[in-house]
Structure 1
Amino acid sequence: METQKIDQHGSKGTLYLVPTPIGNLEDMTFRAVKTLKNVDLIAAEDTRNTQKLLNHFEIDTKQISFHEHNTQQRLPQLLEKLQSGQSIAQVSDAGMPSISDPGKELVAACISADIPVVPLPGPNAGLTALIASGIEPQPFLFYGFLPRKKSEQRQALQNLKNETATMIFYESPFRIEDTLQNMAQVFESKRQVVVARELTKKFEEFIRSDLGSINEELTQHVLKGEFVLIVAGADGEMAPVQLSDAQIIAAIQAEIDRGVQPNVAIKTIAKQVGRKKQVIYNLFHQI
């Protein structure tokens, strides 16, 4: 039985912006799957990567590559297809199109050409990390990836030094330590930071500390996958977590069971609950 195509807005096609899972495939929405099945074409950041997703959900829609290196070549082709009445879904490798990923140029071109643009809600690494960080969630500033060159990165951080909103950054495992070191030097070392990695995956992890000691704590963790950094704004404070003594002991033991050194685990939990490290040390060791 032939799949029914999505209704078009008049004679023109529609551009659908379809978020894809950032790790866990169960985060794919019913609407996203239906849209990818029903459009005429999928514009993908990496067709090989997207094909794995399509295979999982038994989607046989044709793909075309659309990424930062072929944007100018593809834009006229995609606009022509949309103008002729075809519907196109745009996807990035993970998360939302245009958020530190390709997408904005096609959206702007469609708006200029009066072609309908329909966004679908879905996974986003920055917001996923933010709501679990424990740092004030609003207002927030999404920055994405900082410049790679050290001098340019330090200048960008200098411009953000007095920002009072919580800040969201993306970073790779190859630059995470250098970036955090730069942050500690430009911002206050006591500034609260949460490092989130492997979001929605089996080994999802949140490392909560301050910029002055976060790199020391990272030595106890696997630096794998892309990272989200949630950094408190100027004068921002992380709200202490309310835990009973039994819950504190259990939380420390859980960290140790994951391979974290006992003293590091005690220090981490002490910061989360807003109590002195020595007090938590004595509690854990029943001194």
Structure 2
Amino acid sequence: MKEKGTLYLIPSPLGGDDPADVIPGSVLERIRSIRRYVVEEVRTVRRYLSAAGLRGHIDELEFRELNEHTSHEEVSDLMNMFTDENGNPTDVGLISEAGLPAVADPGALLVALCHSHGIKVVPLVGPSSLMLALMASGLNGQSFAFCGYLPAKSDERKKAIREIEKRSAQLNQTEIFIETPYRNDQMLADLVATLQPQTMLCAAADLTTDSQTIVSLSVREWKRKADFRIGKRPCVFLILANS
């Protein structure tokens, strides 16, 4: 079997202008050594890599997209990136739109494929909005679950909210979920209207940036903040119900 390169899972900033504020120096050094990347969105990653020290060399890099529109056949074709035209092993970097690749991210498909082909996978250190929000929430960090996105329709979303609140109470488990930014305020309104008054609710927006906002209160207390708005900012929601 021909030797192949390594897949490096490269975190990206959650916001801000200087990657060095949240990305370790060792990761930035590794980034500068890789010439092939699988990315969720090329334009975003080009800006990131330029700020990370590759300004003036971006056109020398190879980018392939892996996002929600990528077919399974196209994902399989990405295996060709791990060797060059002469059959030599080539390292590949996987970068998400923000935060950790393969977490709430289609890049997990490539990671799974690499494992099945015996390609070494190396996760690198960087920011996770989910873990940062959990850290800052004051909710249960011993038992928690990520629920992804809740339904977009209000009635279905409220039903899902009641279900995860029930699970949270039964398991004493923090439930974590996210929302498309333009629906943040409707999500917050539905949470406050649907959850029990004693349930704890945290909204953590724009993490690691100058506009970072983290509010963790009981639903009863949230109802006194009727004028609070998250706006169209990346936000993580967390709840913990009383058993």
Task: Tell me the TM-score range normalised by the shorter chain.
Answer: 0.7 to 0.9
Q: 1:192 aligns to what?
A: 200
Moved more, 90-99 or 58-67: 58-67
Is the aligned partner of 1:214 residue 2:209? no
Cα deviation for residue 76 of structure 1 reads: 2.5
Q: 1:74 aligns to what?
A: 74
> Secondary structure of the residue that 1:54 maps to in structure 2?
helix
Alignment match of 2:139 (pick from 123, 135, 138): 135
Alignment match of 1:233 (pick from 209, 217, 241): 241
- Please list the CA deviations of residues 18-39 of structure 1 after superposition, one character each: whole Å capped at 9, or x if unmatched: 1111124210122221222222
> Secondary structure of the residue that 2:225 maps to in structure 1?
helix
Q: Quick one: structure 1 residues 181 and 220, their matched pair in 2 at CA, closer, same or farther if it must change by over 3 Å?
A: closer
Which amino acid is the alignment partner of residue 57 of structure 1?
A
C-alpha contact 1:177 1:215 (8 A) present in aligned 2: no
Q: TM-score, normalised by structure 1?
A: 0.71
Cα deviation for residue 169 of structure 1 reads: 1.5
C-alpha contact 1:35 1:89 (8 A) present in aligned 2: no
Unaligned runs of at least 5 residues, structure 1: 1-9, 236-287
Cα deviation for residue 73 of structure 1 reads: 4.5
Instruction: Give, in whole Å, the separation in 2 of the partners of 1:34 and 1:73.
Output: 32
Unaligned runs of at least 5 residues, structure 2: none
Number of residue pairs aligned between Structure 1 and Structure 2:
227
Instruction: Give, in whole Å, the separation in 2 of the partners of 1:103 and 1:189.
Output: 38
C-alpha contact 2:198 2:241 (8 A) present in aligned 1: no
Cα deviation for residue 218 of structure 1 reads: 5.5
Is the aligned partner of 1:54 residue 2:49? yes
RCO (CA 8 Å, sep 6+): is it higher in 1 or 2?
A: 2
Is the aligned partner of 1:40 residue 2:35? yes
> Secondary structure of the residue that 1:58 maps to in structure 2?
helix
Q: 1:260 aligns to what?
A: none
Q: 1:223 aligns to what?
A: 231
Structural RMSD (CA): 2.3
Structure 1 residues 1-287: aligned runs within 5 Å: 11-24=3-16, 25=19, 26-59=21-54, 60=57, 61-82=61-82, 84=87, 85-162=89-166, 163=168, 164-212=172-220, 214=222, 217=225, 219-221=227-229, 223-235=231-243
Q: Percent identity at matched positions?
A: 27
Instruction: Give, in whole Å, the separation in 2 of the partners of 1:166 and 1:215.
Output: 21
- Please list the CA deviations of residues 114-134 of structure 1 after superposition, one character each: whole Å capped at 9, or x if unmatched: 111111121000111111122
Q: 1:250 aligns to what?
A: none
